[in-house]
């Protein structure tokens, strides 16, 4: 399990880089066509070394390699330039204008703003994305779940529901709060303070409550044997069979007792 947790981020990162490189490579195709039209590529081919590569049938491989190399350099160059421009006042104005222009496009603007917001959250190191961890009264009077307060609920939500004060809560699902959870608007009187840090709350969710409270101070781990027992279908089937046998035995004993009484 730990190996999967280490490998997956690398795989996702490599996949994103591969997509970005393919995009830049395809974007460079018109430049290559322009160089060919201007005769630059023909001039390069006339060189002795290039002619040797053509004779050895290695020219396409070398061209593909240099294309990928140029794509990498262009990608990093664009990232550095955009980052440098975004640090000064005029650059911020240009970026704001581009944001406004793209955001005004129907359909595309919604997608762009979502990813833009995600990027702002990732880069804003001082921002507290999850302001506080709370207990939220849900599913019953005596049932409480861990939730993260993210913001004050919009006024329209409060007016529609008739509550004076509501908060926006993210209710995560264990054991993977990243891909599972609920965005809720909860009345303030149903939200309770709890003496728990955000780190402790996340740890509790990731371990399905195993590392909670005092246990979170220790290095609590599930052994691989325990995980195998949990996910072993044979053990589950054996348990079901035992329950069925016990139920049949109880029914047989009750029938025998009734026969003796009669």
Query: What is the Cα–Cα distance from 196 to 106, expressed in whole angstroms?
Result: 43
Which range has the worst mean pLDDT, 106-120, 146-160, 172-186?
Answer: 106-120
Mean per-residue pLDDT, 178-196: 80
- pTM to 2 decimal places: 0.37
Q: How far apart are the first and last CA of the chain?
A: 60
Q: In 10 A of CB 101, how many CB atoms?
A: 11
Per-state percent for the chain, helix, strand, coil, to nearest 5: 65, 10, 25
Mean per-residue pLDDT, 209-229: 50
Predicted local distance difference test score (pLDDT) of residue 232? 46
The mean pLDDT value of the chain amounts to 68
Predicted local distance difference test score (pLDDT) of residue 61? 64
Strand order across the 191-193 sheet? 181-187, 166-172, 144-152, 132-137, 191-193
Mean per-residue pLDDT, 103-117: 70
Q: How far from 55 is each of 41, 58, 65, 87, 140, CA to CA, in Å?
A: 17, 8, 18, 50, 78
Predicted local distance difference test score (pLDDT) of residue 55? 61
Q: Where do the domains of the chain lie? A: 2-123, 132-217
Predicted local distance difference test score (pLDDT) of residue 244? 61
Percent of the chain scored above 90 by pLDDT? 0
For the chain, helix (H) and strand (E) counts, in that order, are 10, 5
Predicted local distance difference test score (pLDDT) of residue 223? 41
Predicted local distance difference test score (pLDDT) of residue 167? 87
Predicted local distance difference test score (pLDDT) of residue 30? 76
Output 132 or 12, whichever has higher pLDDT.
132
């Amino acid at each position: 399990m730990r190996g999967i947790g280490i490998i997956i981020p690398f795989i996702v990162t490599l996949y994103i880089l591969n997509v970005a490189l393919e995009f830049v490579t395809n974007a460079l195709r018109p430049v290559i066509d322009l160089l060919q039209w201007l005769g630059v590529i023909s001039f390069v081919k006339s060189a002795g070394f290039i002619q040797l590569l053509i004779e050895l049938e290695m020219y396409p491989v070398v061209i593909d390699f240099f294309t990928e190399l140029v794509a990498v350099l262009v990608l990093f160059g664009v990232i550095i330039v955009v980052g440098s421009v975004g640090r000064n006042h005029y650059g911020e104005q240009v970026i704001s204008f581009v944001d406004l222009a793209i955001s005004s496009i129907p359909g595309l603007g919604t997608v762009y703003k979502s990813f833009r917001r995600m990027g702002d959250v990732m880069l804003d190191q001082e921002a507290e994305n999850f302001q506080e961890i709370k207990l939220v009264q849900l599913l019953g009077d005596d049932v409480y779940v861990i939730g993260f307060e993210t913001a004050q609920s919009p006024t329209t939500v409060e007016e529609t529901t008739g509550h004076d004060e509501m908060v926006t809560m993210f209710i995560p699902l264990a054991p993977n709060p990243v891909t599972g959870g609920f965005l809720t608007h909860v009345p303030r009187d149903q939200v309770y303070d709890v003496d728990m840090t955000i780190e402790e709350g996340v740890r509790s969710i990731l371990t399905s409550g195993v590392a909670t409270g005092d246990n979170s101070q220790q290095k609590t781990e599930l052994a691989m044997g325990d995980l195998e027992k949990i996910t072993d279908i044979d053990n589950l089937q054996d348990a079901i069979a035992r329950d069925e046998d016990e139920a049949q035995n109880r029914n047989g004993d009750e029938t025998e007792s009734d026969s003796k009484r009669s």
